[in-house]
Amino acid sequence: MGSRLRFGPDAEYVHEIDYKVKAEKREFFYQAAQKIIPDLERESIIPDMSGIRPKLQGPHDAVKDFIIKEESVLGLPGLINLLGIESPGLTACIAIAKKVSQMVSEILP
């Protein structure tokens, strides 16, 4: 990465899509990174990028697991939706691949 380090991501719920990096994030990331690199200088933290990650639940909702669903009932036969896959989904990637493969084999002749 060109002799640079990258810290993040963090997450927060938003009410509107805005890709600007908030200035106060610098202090948040500095405090966290300083635990790993004690001699880190505050000025060396430079905001880089932001993104929007869709979630299946709101900030006060119960945690929802990921969803794997074939969408024929919505008039989209053959479309297999994989929604909300985060860390547990990465851990389960082999099992998810087997499930999707099974679903595909049931759809295709």
> Looking at the domain assignment, is residue 59 inside a domain?
no
What average pLDDT score do residues 95-104 get?
94
Residue 34 has pLDDT above 90, yes or no: yes
Domain hosting 8: range is 1-53
> Looking at the domain assignment, is residue 27 inside a domain?
yes
> Looking at the domain assignment, is residue 29 inside a domain?
yes
pTM more than 0.85 = no
| Same domain, residue pair 1 and 49 | yes
| Same domain, residue pair 48 and 83 | no
> Looking at the domain assignment, is residue 102 inside a domain?
yes
Instruction: Find the largest Cα–Cα distance for the chain.
Output: 62
Give me the amino acid identity at 91.
T
Q: What angle do CA 13, 57, 50 make, to 5 degrees?
A: 35
Element (H, E) at 81: strand 80-83
Instruction: Among 53, 79, 97, identify where a domain stops.
Output: 53
| Same domain, residue pair 5 and 45 | yes
> Looking at the domain assignment, is residue 31 inside a domain?
yes
> pLDDT tens-digit profile of 51-91?
887 777 788 888 777 889 999 999 999 999 998 887 667 78
